[in-house]
Amino acid sequence: MSDSEKSESIGFGSSVRGLKWLLRDGSGPVVRSLSQKLAIPEVLASMIYHRGIDNAVDGEHFLSPKIKHAMSDPYMYKDMDKAVNRTIQAIVDHDKIAVFGDYDVDGATSTALLRRVFKKLMIDVITYIPHRLNEGYGLSKKALDVLHERGVNLVITVDCGMLSFEPVEYANSIGIDVIIIDHHLGLNTVPNAVAVVNPNRHDDTSQFKTMAAVGVVFMFVVALRSKLKADGWFKEHNIEEPDLIQYLDIVALGTVCDVMPLQGLNRAFVFQGLKMISKRQNIGIRAVSNVINLSHKVHVYHLGYVIGPRINAGGRIGEGILGSDLLSTDSYDEAYSIALQLEKLNEERKAIESIALEEAMRQVEDKRLYDNTVILVHSEYWHAGILGILASKLKEKYLRPVMAVLVMEEIAKGSARSIAGMNVSKAVERAKANGLLLEGGGHAMAAGFTLNRTRLEEFHEYINLYLANDKETALANATILDIDEIISLGALNTELLTLIERAGPFGQGNPVPRFAICDIVLTYCTIVGGKHILCVVSDGLGHSKSVKCMFFNGVQTKLGQTLLKSTGQKLSLAGTVQPNTFDDTQVSFVIEDAAFK
């Protein structure tokens, strides 16, 4: 919620999770105006108003986001012209090109996008994604030696490279040009590459600062196609111009999985990308969907929590190249084989993660680490590929920044995840500048770092002090539960769900609308699937209306245990309205919190 947007506290009892429920200001005149001018119900007008829309023009673009409305000139990025010109020179001179990417979903989609475009241009490229455990993150001398032996003249790095100062100098010394396409925060200087295209470089004045790397790569291929067309290259070589819109499925996947805000161009990417995914044109996405029996409509949730983790599993505990290969292949048999490998790796990842998470939570509770500004957990036995997941899950539980660290013989490697208002990347960068870290960088909400193991405690103390001033405000905001509307049980129907979906896609920066249903009676509550809780609530007035509610992964939580003991009691629930996966004529209410008077 913006600082300027008024809210009021909803005074109807004590939140089980200790959250403060705040009802968003409805601003009646603006909502009524949006409703009339856009010919939409007021409840939908209220939803989009709460997401920053206060006029009809913006409302039209919000409800039907199009790339042409949201996208600006790709050449607004610094060095875009240099990147395009050097790539075209490589194409004309038949240079050997390598695409070098990160091992997460953003890296997989970024490399896959370039591979697919170059394939359409009838150009063979080498793809190199380092092994997380054996090589680590980013460009390296070892990787460059391998590429040099294979005759590579040009390396295009995607989703990495901003801190690769020494590797780029080494590449220059052995006759390899480097183009960096990235989105990570850097320093007040950039590597000595041919081009560094990054909206977050210190001297870039473009407007799209919150794009995933795959979004920046998309801008690059738009510029590349445009220049090739202007040069008459397609006609000269009798090659059809690639239709870049068909690749928005993988752009959407990378954008969602890198947790970029779904606003502006990002939202258009995902809105249009979901349309492409519904057609299952990408053979890799089709194969994954078939392996996991995902036959219904795909939402942002499926990208971030179903498809994404499987692609990520390759980079976390297997071979990072698997995700890129999956999204690049034109062979269904190959895609299905890779999808099966990723499914197996994902199951292994979940087992490894479960054991590590149990140990990490035990550290937090036994040592009262939740009293720190920043929680730091560590072990000599955790898998490096699941550190980010551990940090993320602990952050969600304890509502404060978390660093999960693997301690090795001489060094320690960690991942940090933060909450809004506490910029963990800046903290890591300052620690590195002060000599505490060997490597470090990332985003405001996520960062990675490497240090000598003997300095771990010193580093933790530094981070605690650095972020201490932001703690009070950030933690206060983290305990606020914004409510879009208070609704009755009778309003929980498929018509409301249809309206909600019109305000999507939802994700970071465009949260799914949250509703409160007040003074209802919990008539039934039971455990399903071993870890979820199914509730049935009614209005308690003798009417026949009742609604099924789900609290996922809640059995071991305070809220879950409270619900299981509260049958027959009056309460209020806060949560979201979702499709009923077993009966499409009904909806389900997904519980986030409960309050009792």
Same domain assignment for residues 48 and 120: no
Q: At what angle do helices 387-398 and 332-366 cross, to 10 degrees?
A: 50
> How far is it, in rounded angstroms, from Cα 552 to Cα 547?
16
213-223 burial, b at 16+ Cβ within 10 Å, e below that, comes to bbbbbbbbbbb
Q: What is the pTM of this model?
A: 0.89
Q: Which residues contact 303 (CB under 8 A, 6 or more apart)?
A: 252, 253, 256, 257, 270, 277
Residue 333 maps to a domain: no
Same domain, 191 and 256: yes
> Does 326 reside within a domain?
no
Q: How far apart are CA 439 and CA 432, in angstroms?
A: 7
For residues 191 and 532, what is the distance between their CA atoms, to the nearest angstrom? Answer: 49
Look at residue 140 in the predicted model and tell me its pLDDT.
94
State phi, psi for 124 to the nearest 5 degrees. Answer: -80, 130
Helical residues (DSSP H) of 123-232, grouped into ranges: 141-149, 165-173, 213-230
Strand, coil or helix: 197:
strand
> Would residue 360 count as lying in a domain?
no
- Picking from 458, 479, 500, the residue at the C-terminal end of a domain is 479
Q: Which helix (H) or strand (E) holds 457?
A: helix 456-478
Handedness of CA 98, 101, 103, 104 (dihedral sign): negative
**Which of 479, 501, 516 is at the close of a domain?**
479
Q: Which two tokens stand for residue 244?
A: 């870049």
AA identity, residue 487 = I
> 420 with 383, same domain?
yes
Six-digit token pair at 577?
């309205």
Length of the chain: 597
Is 4 within a domain? no
Contact 282, 327 (CB under 8 A): yes
* Shared-domain flag, residues 546 and 572: yes
**Same-domain check for residues 458 and 491:** no
What CATH number did the domain enclosing 512 receive?
2.40.50.140
Question: How many domains, in total, are found in the chain?
Answer: 4
Query: d(Cα 82, Cα 213) in Å, to the nearest integer?
Result: 18
Q: Indicate whether 214 and 97 sit together in one domain.
A: yes
Rounded distance, CA 239 to CA 119, Å? 11
Residue carrying structure tokens 């949260």: 511
Rounded CA-CA distance 33/398 in Å is: 41
Query: Are 535 and 525 within 8 A, CB to CB?
Result: yes
Distance of CA 539 to the CA centre of its chain: 38
Q: Which of 516, 480, 491, 498 is nearest to 578 (CA)?
A: 498
Could you say which residues of the chain have pLDDT below 50? 1-8
Cis peptide before 261 (omega within 30 of 0): no
Domain that holds residue 236: 74-280+315-320
Domain boundary among 409, 444, 479: 479
Report yes or no on 241 lying in a domain: yes
Residue 93 maps to which CATH number? 3.90.1640.30
CA–CA separation, 126 and 76 (whole Å):
28
Please, which residues bridge with residue 571 across strands? 520
Same domain, 109 and 247: yes
SS3 content of the chain, % helix, strand, coil (to 5): 45, 20, 35
- The Cα–Cα gap between 280 and 264 comes to 25
Both 149 and 245 in a single domain? yes
Cα separation, 247 vs 334, in Å, equals 19
- Distance (Å, rounded) from C-alpha 323 to C-alpha 106? 10
- 335 inside domain: no
Burial 409-442 (b: 16+ CB within 10 A, else e): eebbbbbbbbbebbbbbebbbebbeeebbebbbb
| Distance of alpha carbon 218 from alpha carbon 224, whole angstroms | 10
130, part of any domain: yes
**What single-letter amino acid sits at 342?**
L
Q: For residue 393, what is the domain's CATH number? A: 3.10.310.30
List, as own/partner pairs, every contact residues 508-511 make where C-beta atoms lie below 8 angstroms and the sequence separation is at least 24, other chains included.
Answer: 508/259, 508/260, 508/261, 508/262, 509/210, 509/260, 509/261, 509/262, 509/263, 509/266, 509/267, 510/51, 510/261, 510/262, 510/263, 510/267, 511/482
Residue 8 and residue 18: Cα distance in Å, rounded? 17
Same domain, 441 and 505: no
In a domain, residue 560? The reply is yes
Domain match, 35 and 101 both: no
Is the N-terminal amide bond of 505 cis, ω within 30° of 0?
yes
Domain shared by 179 and 206, yes or no: yes
Q: What is the pLDDT of residues 444-468, one digit of tens each?
A: 889 999 999 999 999 999 999 999 9
Q: Which residue has the tokens 């030696």?
A: 145
Spatial distance between the Cα atoms of 575 and 596, rounded to a whole number of angstroms: 15
In the structure encoding, which two tokens stand for residue 461, read together? Answer: 């103390």
Let me know whether 438 and 515 are in one domain. Answer: no
Dist. CA 560–CA 592, nearest whole Å: 10
Residue 232: burial class (beta carbons within 10 Å; 0-12, 13-18, 19+): exposed
Residue 580, pLDDT score: 74
